[in-house]
Structure 1
Amino acid sequence: MLLLAFLLAAPVPQDDPEKLYGDWVVACDNLHRCEMTSLFPNDDTAPADDSAYEATMSLSREAGPAGALTVEVWPSGALKGKASIRIDDAVVATGTISDESLTFRGADASRIAAAMPNGKVLALVDGTGKPVARISLAGSSASLRHIDANQGRAGTVTALVARGARSASAVPAARPPEQIVGLRPSGKAATVSRAMRAGMEKQSECDGLDGGVGSVPEVDTYALGGGKTLALLPCGSGAYNFSSVAFIVAGGKAVRADLDGSDGVLVNASFDNGMLSTHNKGRGVGDCGSSETYVWDGRRFRLTEARVMSECRGSTNWLATYRARAVFR
């Protein structure tokens, strides 16, 4: 029955999909693709030389029996050339820095994953053999076990931690993402008059937020097609976040936009190539927050991706919790 429920579960956003284990955060999306990412040790557990923790790392695994693994490491410094992952006293994988990160797949990624659960110290080592950064392994075993459970691998030969004798065929197959049919933007964006803006501000309770000091930001407008316009009404700002409320303008009237799982109040919103994106930073360095991407289907904005990172502890790799595929017509 549990396996049947796993296979029939609808691909919808999950409640509380992100979990913290020690110095790692793990999340699995609606299609059971999972990723875990390392954090800097917190104030209670960080050693005196915590400055050595100057790299972050992620391990992701695709759903399904094959379940491809990928490991990526981001050094904070300007490291170039060859580098290796060393767990305790053994080098488990060697690669070359590309685009400021070190990526391992296939057998290399599998060796790293296999060595993590019982490892004590993971070090990033440069081409001369000198350790240049450390990554805490506290909580990595529990995160790997979380992935095994979410993907239905526990008790099978494909599990990373909870291995058993059952064959890979016992692992539920990967599901394709839901397809969202979006409208390709066309036409010319409508103009928001002063009177229309006043009505929008009244609807959204955003009037007077600038306090009459300095210039008032303009309403950003974008043609959606079919005679409709997306209007982003400024609704307050802080040091690194700018809020707006989404409206749909058509026939000389503006109504609050309908968005999957949102009340229409967006943070750092942008619209490009038919996609509406948000990016809500928890703090200025961007190591925590949430983001969403939507596509317009002619009636509402449909969610196509959601990412989150609740822990403000050094990782700018926000984890995907929902995915769908946008198909434009």
Structure 2
Amino acid sequence: MFLIALATVLAAQPTPGPFRSFGDWAVACDNVRRCEMTSLQPADGDVDTNGTELSLVREPGPAGAVSITIWGPEDAKGAPSLTIDGTRIEGGSVQQGALRFGGVTAQHLATALANGHVARVMAVASGKTGDISLAGASAALRFIDAQQGRADGVTALVARGAKSASMVPVAAPLPVVTAIAPAGQAATISPALITRLNKASGCGEEYTEGFPQPTPETGVLGGGATLVLLACGSGAYNLTSAAYVVRDGKATEARFDTTAELINASWDGSSGTLSTHGKGRGIVIAARAPAMSGTAAASA
């Protein structure tokens, strides 16, 4: 889940870094250069992950702490253990069912991930295993080194060189955001306005007389503005919405400072927060997405 606060930004607009994929890994950095890479289910199916996932986070700045979290096989009992190319990796701790590494141990493990081929996670009590392909892990780590200004330096995980840690840019400050306190009454959304929004968005084409469109969800934004979440297609698990802001009977598309695909969107009027999350299919293992720091703001 990520949260989109409808807010006034008092600092520079946050600009998340690029999202990339390398082999069987996805990697991204946020607006303060905090980076995360996450293992994926290999497309060719040669590796049976059995629900196993690995996430590596590197903080920005010269110190740049590394933390690694590993989730073991699905429905497995007992603490997980990790091996890379048959060599057991020690030094982790089990927290909330996940195997976690930090400090120097995590940095050494990152090097092992870059140089290895397959990581295997075993639930000690049951012997159940899941494998993680390391194809692309080295490239993902090199991408993090570049995004954080570590390339050719002593703090790099892969692209190491002689540059001192002092050459790494310091962590950027998080944007300061003042949340809007919603007040007033939501506007009444007329059938005629819904028709116009459906035509402009194309959402009306997703529904028929036998499969009617759900009633739009509305929320008070304050200042005479109303948020409208227009249903725009659905599947077995997910409902997609298009967001509009209505003032004085006129609607405009809601603007976000980053790409916002609204899936299973929900408006919390008490906090002025719009949340959205996608549900994976029951027969597909969904990878955890790289985390983002800061707040993505939408203009009311």
TM-score band (shorter)?
0.7 to 0.9
- In the other structure, the counterpart of 1:88 is 85
Q: CA offsets per residue over residues 143-191 of structure 1, 9 Å max, x none?
A: 1111111111122221111222332111111101222333122233222
Secondary structure, in 3 states, of the residue corresponding to 2:169?
Answer: coil
- Preserved CA contact (<8 Å) 2:73 2:129: no
Identify which of structures 1 and 2 has the higher relative contact order when contacts are C-alpha pairs closer than 8 Å and 6+ apart: 2
Segment drifting more, 203-212 vs 114-123: 203-212
Segment drifting more, 142-151 vs 231-240: 231-240
TM-score if structure 1 supplies the norm length? Answer: 0.73
Counterpart residue identity of residue 131, structure 2: R
- Give the distance between the partners of 2:235 and 2:296, measured in 1 at CA: 33
- In the TM superposition, residue 315 of structure 1 has moved relative to its aligned partner by 4.5
- Give the distance between the partners of 2:155 and 2:259, measured in 1 at CA: 41
Structure 2's unaligned 5+ residue stretches are: 1-11
Is 1:56 the equivalent of 2:64? Answer: no
Secondary structure, in 3 states, of the residue corresponding to 1:319?
Answer: coil
Is 1:269 the equivalent of 2:270? Answer: no
Is 1:148 the equivalent of 2:127? Answer: no
Secondary structure, in 3 states, of the residue corresponding to 2:154?
Answer: coil
- In the other structure, the counterpart of 1:249 is 246
- Give the distance between the partners of 2:192 and 2:215, measured in 1 at CA: 14
CA separation of 1:122 and 1:257: change in aligned 2, threshold 3 A? same
Secondary structure, in 3 states, of the residue corresponding to 2:162?
Answer: coil
Secondary structure, in 3 states, of the residue corresponding to 1:115?
Answer: helix
CA separation of 1:265 and 1:23: change in aligned 2, threshold 3 A? closer
- In the other structure, the counterpart of 2:220 is 223
- Give the distance between the partners of 1:325 and 1:205, measured in 2 at CA: 26
- Preserved CA contact (<8 Å) 2:266 2:274: yes
- Give the distance between the partners of 2:70 and 2:135, measured in 1 at CA: 17
Counterpart residue identity of residue 273, structure 2: M
Is 1:112 the equivalent of 2:109? Answer: yes
CA separation of 1:279 and 1:158: change in aligned 2, threshold 3 A? same
- Give the distance between the partners of 1:142 and 1:83, measured in 2 at CA: 26
Is 1:167 the equivalent of 2:167? Answer: no
Counterpart residue identity of residue 86, structure 1: T
TM-score if structure 2 supplies the norm length? Answer: 0.80
- In the other structure, the counterpart of 1:316 is 287
Structure 1's unaligned 5+ residue stretches are: 1-8, 288-313
CA separation of 1:316 and 1:168: change in aligned 2, threshold 3 A? same
Secondary structure, in 3 states, of the residue corresponding to 1:19?
Answer: strand
- Give the distance between the partners of 2:194 and 2:141, measured in 1 at CA: 51
- The count of aligned residue pairs is 284
The CA RMSD over aligned residues, in Å, is 3.2
- Give the distance between the partners of 1:206 and 1:167, measured in 2 at CA: 54
- In the other structure, the counterpart of 2:190 is 193
- Preserved CA contact (<8 Å) 1:246 1:264: no
- Give the distance between the partners of 1:107 and 1:231, measured in 2 at CA: 49
Secondary structure, in 3 states, of the residue corresponding to 1:142?
Answer: helix
Counterpart residue identity of residue 30, structure 1: N
- Preserved CA contact (<8 Å) 1:93 1:111: no
Counterpart residue identity of residue 275, structure 1: T
Q: CA offsets per residue over residues 227-263 of structure 1, 9 Å max, x none?
A: 3211222233334442333222333x03123312689
